[in-house]
Structure 1
């Protein structure tokens, strides 16, 4: 086709040249022929190559699909501000610094029967913590530690988290597994301290393997537990050749229906079994709402059994109800203490006994905020509706709590004298009332004040009865990021 067009055009050009014999016309016609040939070349290159029709074959079984990993979506926000920058790489992995500063002023007075009155005033850092957290695919981590009450550096959270799916996680590390108040972050609890209940059940951080599954309104927990990650190598508590670390297991279940947009109910139950191994026995004690205990015989620590527990079984109940700005919360636990034998320690040994402890609290936000609830059965950080930087007042909360603990079921043994059984003199009952107020100018800043009045009633031992009335006034400035 190309040669046909070219030949036809050339014949037409020759005829025109012979007829007119003008060089100018011939040159113009040649230029037109060259343009036409260039156009033909372009059209031929763009024309589709014809292919033979394919025969229709009979249907065959579909081959197994080739599974390809879809490309990971790039992060929409490489840097997101959460009171500290959270960095996200193009494939979704995250990293964030975190920390907190809690500065306290505490004044404690104890009027004690049979002993001189006790007075202490402390200005200390309750917590100075730094940490990191992040996520890489299914793997996550959280590491945070620092100094507590002026002590040496130690770790709280030290957790590796593997997510089986959106609802189920496996966690290994220093972590908690029990109690509504215990699992609510220390930064988000209503009062400055967890009170006698938190002290007595001793459900703090331990090195554990834990599985957690959460639903829309429920959660299930199961954990195998050892000792705190900050502990040094276990040494024989009562026998030098028994350097066996304590062990335990905890299960927990919660149900939290959302009754309406303004109402939330929480119900929970948990159980734990522990064995001391070769370590010193478990101690059950409580302080009057303060972490500062400068003397072993101070008014803050006049309530203790001593290291009498060879093992124990704890059953705990949880309940909370939130209606708009009003929050009600309570927990109770019964601890069955398997006491060390008198052959192990005549001063601490004796018959098994029960401990009962619990609390009930109420809080109300005068500025209308509602306590946020987490799917895992705990409460979260307050969301301030009108912070200062937006022309608001911040969030203002008022609260009250009643604490109770009873060690009086602990009995004497028939081996040592009553005076030699040191724990008996301070194994009585504890009752306390705490009033509190919190002001949140921003979501990550909090100013708190607590006033606690506690009454400790102990049994008379050898003509002395170590009863006490304790008054604690506390103030705190808290900042987290």
Structure 2
């Protein structure tokens, strides 16, 4: 480019000289010479501006746990995402079905981003359990006031379910989320909201790993509200959700079951135990949510009712719920996002990689699920979970949980289960 500048300067000098030589000195129009000099200077300024623009890259790079690429105008973004959760579990029960094992609870890799400013995409695959499963795979058109999401996504139900596994307080979600089969499904959902409220509703049918020809539909809606309290350290969450789900099981039965609060365990409550079948075409769920954050202190709870259609007898209503309290000893706070109606990433004040001690959180939870009603006795499970989390930085944490569980009714009536579990987690 230096050569270009010299060439431009030479051209300017030549032009001036040409004007001077072609006109007698006594009659030289200095105004005309000055005009041509100004014109050439303007051309040189344009060349410099073009050089400056071309020398800069149209690509911006940020670090958010992993490189995030974006165009200068912000219309295009792309980020590689993933998480690895490696667990160790030691479990003892009265029946002698002990466990002492490790597993990758989650091992996900994917990509997400934005194209043309208002279209979001996300694709993620889980490699845990020696299998390859698609978790999220969707496009989202972010319009105002309504956003439209098409593809495999979470069905809008439950605060615990909508909060990412990267940010939940305990190693496993509450029993009702798995016991009542909250999951991701392929569908279309519309969402709207403001600074402190959300509404999302959708129609779903099957999932990415379901190859059956007959798939029942699920209709779901969830609404949340996070009233402003005038105190930046105080936050409240109120929510409710409902779904109606058609049965797509080949044998025409509905099944509900659940483990203790560790993943490496048998299911001690199961509606297919005790020779019980619930033959029905559908079920429906209604749940309520409540949470509060006051600085380092957090309280969270949910309760839900699931009514199952049963052609063989009265319709049973199963219930589940939990309440927990957690506290950051190091002064951090759970990151409640009222615009999303869920919790997000904890911001560590003094990360290990910057010479700090990280963030330390402790918590306790009471958790229950009851699969007995209207002559169906498949067991009630009650658990106490004590947890401690050490966040080394914003993207890495070590979790430790101790739990004891009692089963009342069903095939494992009177069973007690004790479990100790540790997780090493990193995400990006």
Smaller-chain TM-score bracket: 0.7 to 0.9
Q: Where does residue 220 of structure 2 map in the other structure?
A: 250
Give CA-to-partner distance per residue, 1:295-339, whole Å, 9 cap, x none: xxxxx3120112625311111000000000000000000111102
1:312 equivalent in alignment to 2:294: no
Distance 1:75 1:378, change over 3 A: farther
- Report the Cα distance in structure 2 between the residues aligned to 1:275 and 1:474, rounded to whole angstroms: 36
- Report the Cα distance in structure 2 between the residues aligned to 1:40 and 1:474, rounded to whole angstroms: 89
- Report the Cα distance in structure 2 between the residues aligned to 1:252 and 1:143, rounded to whole angstroms: 23
Q: Where does residue 87 of structure 2 map in the other structure?
A: 104
- Report the Cα distance in structure 2 between the residues aligned to 1:382 and 1:168, rounded to whole angstroms: 28
Shift of residue 212, structure 1, vs aligned partner? 1.2
Shift of residue 43, structure 1, vs aligned partner? 7.3
Q: Where does residue 389 of structure 1 map in the other structure?
A: 353
Give CA-to-partner distance per residue, 1:435-463, whole Å, 9 cap, x none: 0000001110010000110000115xxxx
Q: Where does residue 118 of structure 1 map in the other structure?
A: 97
1:303 equivalent in alignment to 2:285: no
Distance 1:45 1:254, change over 3 A: closer
TM-score (norm 2): 0.83
SS of alignment partner, residue 407 of structure 1: strand
1:289 equivalent in alignment to 2:289: no
Q: Where does residue 383 of structure 2 map in the other structure?
A: 432
Shift of residue 40, structure 1, vs aligned partner? 6.4
Query: What is the RMSD computed on CA atoms of the aligned residues?
Result: 2.2
Q: Where does residue 77 of structure 2 map in the other structure?
A: 94
Largest Rg, 1 or 2:
1
1:325 equivalent in alignment to 2:307: no
Shift of residue 147, structure 1, vs aligned partner? 2.0
Q: Where does residue 236 of structure 2 map in the other structure?
A: 265
Checking the alignment, whether the CA contact within 8 Å between 1:450 and 1:474 is kept in structure 2 is yes
SS of alignment partner, residue 78 of structure 1: strand
| Superposition map of 1:365-376 within 5 A | 365-374=328-337, 375-376=339-340
Checking the alignment, whether the CA contact within 8 Å between 1:107 and 1:120 is kept in structure 2 is yes
1:449 equivalent in alignment to 2:413: no
Match of 1:467 among 410, 414, 418: 414
Q: Where does residue 65 of structure 1 map in the other structure?
A: none
Shift of residue 168, structure 1, vs aligned partner? 2.8
Structure 1 unaligned spans of 5+: 1-30, 47-73, 235-243, 294-299, 342-348, 413-423
| Superposition map of 1:22-41 within 5 A | 34-39=24-29
Checking the alignment, whether the CA contact within 8 Å between 1:245 and 1:279 is kept in structure 2 is no
Shift of residue 276, structure 1, vs aligned partner? 0.9
Shift of residue 159, structure 1, vs aligned partner? 1.5
Checking the alignment, whether the CA contact within 8 Å between 2:174 and 2:321 is kept in structure 1 is no
SS of alignment partner, residue 348 of structure 2: coil
| Superposition map of 1:26-425 within 5 A | 34-39=24-29, 42=32, 78-92=60-74, 93-112=76-95, 117-137=96-116, 138-148=118-128, 150-165=129-144, 167-176=145-154, 177-234=156-213, 244-259=214-229, 260-277=231-248, 279-280=250-251, 281-293=253-265, 300-306=266-272, 308=278, 309-339=280-310, 341=311, 349-374=312-337, 375-411=339-375, 424=377
Distance 1:75 1:473, change over 3 A: farther
Specify which structure has the higher proportion of strand. 2
Query: How many residues get paired?
Result: 377
- Report the Cα distance in structure 2 between the residues aligned to 1:231 and 1:321, rounded to whole angstroms: 38
- Report the Cα distance in structure 2 between the residues aligned to 1:180 and 1:75, rounded to whole angstroms: 42
Checking the alignment, whether the CA contact within 8 Å between 2:199 and 2:222 is kept in structure 1 is yes
Checking the alignment, whether the CA contact within 8 Å between 1:75 and 1:91 is kept in structure 2 is no
Structure 2 unaligned spans of 5+: 1-20, 37-55
- Report the Cα distance in structure 1 between the residues aligned to 2:281 and 2:393, rounded to whole angstroms: 46
- Report the Cα distance in structure 1 between the residues aligned to 2:143 and 2:228, rounded to whole angstroms: 26
TM-score (norm 1): 0.74
